[in-house]
Amino acid sequence: MLFTVQLFDSSAQKQEQCNILPTPVVYKRVKGNLYLREKIHLNKENWPKNTLNQLDSMLQKFHKITIQDTTGKPFIRLRKLTNVPKDFYSISISSFIFISYSNERALYYAMQSLVQLIKTENKIKYIPKAFVQDYPKFDWRGLHLDVSRHFFSVEEIKRYLDLMAMYKLNTFHWHLTDDQGWRIEINAYPKLTTVGAFRDSTLIGHYTANPRKYDSQRHGGFYTQQEIKEIVSYAAERYIDVVPEIEMPGHSRAALAAYPRFSCTGKQQKVPGLWGVFEDIYCTKEESFQFLSNILNEVVSLFPGKYIHIGGDEAPKSRWKSCAKCQNVMQKNRLKDAHELQSYFISRIEQFLNKKGKNLIGWDEILEGGLSPNATVMSWRGFKGGIAAAKNGHYVVMTPGTHCYFDHYQGKSNEEPLAIGGYTPLEKVYQFNPIPDELDAAQASYILGGQANLWTEYITSYDQLEYMAYPRAIALSQALWCQNKPNYEKFCQVLYDVHYEKLDSLKVNYSKSSQRASITSKVNEKGISLILDSPDTSDIFCTSLRTKLSGEEIKLNLKAGEELMITRPKKHVTEQEIEFISKNSALGSTIHLTRHHALGAKVNYITKPNPQYHYAPSLLIDGQKGVRPWRGHEWIGFDTCKIIIEIKLPEKKKIKEIVFSFLESNGSWIYLPKQIQVSNQMKRRKKIRSTTNINSELVRLKIKKRLKTINIEINTFSSIPQGLPGAGRVPWTFLDEIVFH
């Protein structure tokens, strides 16, 4: 029988607060509540078996409600619809529950929503009477997990899938192989797991630490084919497709540790316990294709989904350039450079997968040297690659580092556990839109959706994984599901008021970083003012200022939004710690402040910083030093060999000393400068001090002069010397705070 339904116009509708996340297209509250008993009756015969089982376990888990079969009038009634948008469902809650659905997947989504609507007050369970109509915006709503850098157990993967399902994420991108571990049993090549799944030692702390230290502990693990099947079927019960990733030609050191003969040099090397990009990759000789085809042959039989991800990212070409076999492949196939060789490599793999009825998907580097004919592109280096692919009629999944890398910090790095770097707070994820303005409607139709990635170099436990994933995965789901998502503040209200309780009941270790008070500083003529921003606008902060030297402590109460003036010191520079404790959310924040004579000075960048690291011009004189490990935007970053900055002090002042604070992070090509020169800018510029003795991040220059306008010239290596990371390039110079004593 064919039913027609009236589709409501979501944009014209004024939405009342709805507790379902992701927010449905339509939620109309009507008067009254529907009260629930401990047992709910339904006609089991009408239900698809899997959705019934899922409903049963969800009602038990969240609400201790059991379902019972009835042949009479059921409490939850169903009807199937046709001619509605993909994965459409509706729920009407009146004196009973009426679910309309287009397919089993949609019925499952309806159940997830229904379970979220049930409230309990004084042990009484009820659902506010309402009408819900819903369907997703994008087909690909993905979450990725790197199990190579750190291994996660079958039980942990299932929990990860449960949470994804709760928020209607439907694609699990399982990053099964990388340099630091091979995690999938392959019968044809047992050493991939006996050798490739384990490493002897792992880096402690950050990649950029100098010197590096290792833990000397064996780490690893892998999934048997039986376990893979179990997880794929567990995901399928939750309407989640699993996309396995088998990395090639790069990120293959674990496989090459097991079978070195498939590299260019054949050299035996261990599974590394260091992160980054390695030079040794698969050789492009025929034997490697045989090896990879045999592996993929087993992979395709384990994963019923359409897509196989083959990586393709970050493959250095140095080995190929000096390998006779690779050069021979290039000649034979008339390939003009190493990029074309990579393109040839990926096309060969694509042909194999297409013959097996699978689609190839890879990171956006697969565009270099020419995209293979049917490939789908996962755009991670921003939106660019995805835009180019969509314009060429290729399908795209957007997963730009700016919005979708959940291994980035989500709060101030000094208040967060160690992470790789970057800054992707909850609100940034919430603003993610996979469709860039550059695409017209026809091109935009190639964007399948989006995904967030969880690389686990710095995620060493499942608890920490949840901390990095939640609540950001919920914001992602809003970005990918909602036709018209509510504004960020409304989302936060539902998240904080309703969903945190649910996550608490499941003992999810989600992060509360987005609720931390944030402090912004504004430069003004007296110095700087600090303004407190709290997610709760009625918040009061108990603020204490402590002066480091005297230990003197001042306490005051401040409302969110109020300004705290920090004036320049009359005489000496003082170091202060200001602690803001929120009365409402118990989450506070601490800042360390150096009160000095240039607070509020005017900074003129004669040399422009790189726009990516030019967060606020006043950053250099706002009293706050850049944090470590650096996330990026608290530092002013230059990529030129000569840097000229002019600083105009608010008043002429006797300056005893100027202290520069640089960042040294050679692994990221950030180096200390070679020379600094300070001049007094009066009618004519007059050099007053210079130094080439720079061997630490803090550089002090004695001055002892009355100054008003100061010209600072900083010189770096003209290029990074051979043998050091980034050799041959102009080094980065990162500077934050120039303190005037």
Stretch binding Zn ion (CB under 5 A), from 71-79, 282-290, 553-561, 664-672: 282-290
Q: Which is nearer to ligand ACM, 247 or 737 (CB)?
A: 247
Does residue 360 sit in helix, strand or coil?
A: strand
Angle at 401 between CA 397 and CA 404, to 5 degrees: 65
Contact between residue 701 and residue 651 where contact means Cβ atoms under 8 Å apart: no
From candidates 108, 152, 239, 363, binder to ligand ACM by CB under 6 A = 363
Residue 264 binds Zn ion (CB under 5 A)? yes
Angle at 307 between CA 303 and CA 312, to 5 degrees: 115
Contact between residue 176 and residue 151 where contact means Cβ atoms under 8 Å apart: no
CB of 262 to Zn ion, least distance (A): 9
Quote the CA–CA distance of 520 and 671 in Å, as a whole number.
28
> CA quadruple 620, 623, 627, 633: dihedral positive or negative?
negative
Contact between residue 703 and residue 687 where contact means Cβ atoms under 8 Å apart: no
CB of 183 to ligand ACM, least distance (A): 17
The listed partner (ligand ACM, Zn ion, none) that binds 325, CB under 5 to 8 Å by sort, is: Zn ion
The listed partner (ligand ACM, Zn ion, none) that binds 380, CB under 5 to 8 Å by sort, is: ligand ACM
Residue 368 binds ligand ACM (CB under 6 A)? no
Q: Which is nearer to ligand ACM, 21 or 377 (CB)?
A: 377
Which parts of 337-471 fold into alpha helices (H)? 338-355, 384-391, 401-404, 426-430, 441-444, 462-469
CB of 49 to ligand ACM, least distance (A): 39
CB of 145 to ligand ACM, least distance (A): 13
From candidates 314, 533, 577, 646, binder to ligand ACM by CB under 6 A = 314
The listed partner (Zn ion, ligand ACM, none) that binds 326, CB under 5 to 8 Å by sort, is: Zn ion
From candidates 162, 227, 230, 313, binder to ligand ACM by CB under 6 A = 313
Residue 275 binds ligand ACM (CB under 6 A)? no
CB of 265 to Zn ion, least distance (A): 8
CB of 245 to Zn ion, least distance (A): 23
Q: Which is nearer to Zn ion, 123 or 267 (CB)?
A: 267
Q: Which is nearer to ligand ACM, 401 or 588 (CB)?
A: 401
The listed partner (Zn ion, ligand ACM, none) that binds 313, CB under 5 to 8 Å by sort, is: ligand ACM
- The residue nearest ligand ACM at its CB is 313
Size of the site for ligand ACM (CB under 6 A): 4
Burial class from Cβ neighbours inside 10 Å (0-12, 13-18, 19+) for residue 490 reads middle
The listed partner (ligand ACM, Zn ion, none) that binds 323, CB under 5 to 8 Å by sort, is: Zn ion
Residue type, 73: K
Binders of Zn ion among 205-234, rule CB under 5 A? Answer: none
From candidates 129, 229, 325, 656, binder to Zn ion by CB under 5 A = 325
CA atoms within 13 A on the CB side of 6: 3
Q: Which is nearer to ligand ACM, 89 or 395 (CB)?
A: 395
Q: Which is nearer to Zn ion, 279 or 313 (CB)?
A: 279
Using CA atoms in the order 94, 98, 100, 101, what is the torsion angle rounded to 10 degrees? Answer: 120
Does residue 643 sit in helix, strand or coil?
A: strand
Quote the CA–CA distance of 354 and 365 in Å, as a whole number.
20
CA distance readout (Å), 398 to 436, 456, 468:
10, 20, 20
Residue 639 binds ligand ACM (CB under 6 A)? no
Residue type, 558: L
Quote the CA–CA distance of 398 and 383 in Å, as a whole number.
7
- Which active-site residues does the annotation give? 178, 251, 314
CB of 314 to ligand ACM, least distance (A): 5
The listed partner (ligand ACM, Zn ion, none) that binds 476, CB under 5 to 8 Å by sort, is: none
Stretch binding Zn ion (CB under 5 A), from 324-332, 600-608, 707-715, 718-726: 324-332
CB of 191 to ligand ACM, least distance (A): 26
* End-to-end alpha carbon distance in the chain: 83
Token pair belonging to 19:
């507790």
Quote the CA–CA distance of 360 and 342 in Å, as a whole number.
15
Residue of 678, 543, 520, 684 lying closest to 598 (CA atoms): 678
Burial class from Cβ neighbours inside 10 Å (0-12, 13-18, 19+) for residue 674 reads middle
Q: Which is nearer to ligand ACM, 88 or 380 (CB)?
A: 380
Q: What is the largest CA-CA distance in the chain?
A: 97
Token pair belonging to 676:
């600094």
Residue 283 binds Zn ion (CB under 5 A)? yes
The listed partner (ligand ACM, Zn ion, none) that binds 366, CB under 5 to 8 Å by sort, is: none
Residue 380 binds ligand ACM (CB under 6 A)? yes
Site of interaction with Zn ion (CB under 5 A): 264, 283, 323, 325-326
Binding residues for ligand ACM, rule: CB under 6 A, are: 313-314, 363, 380
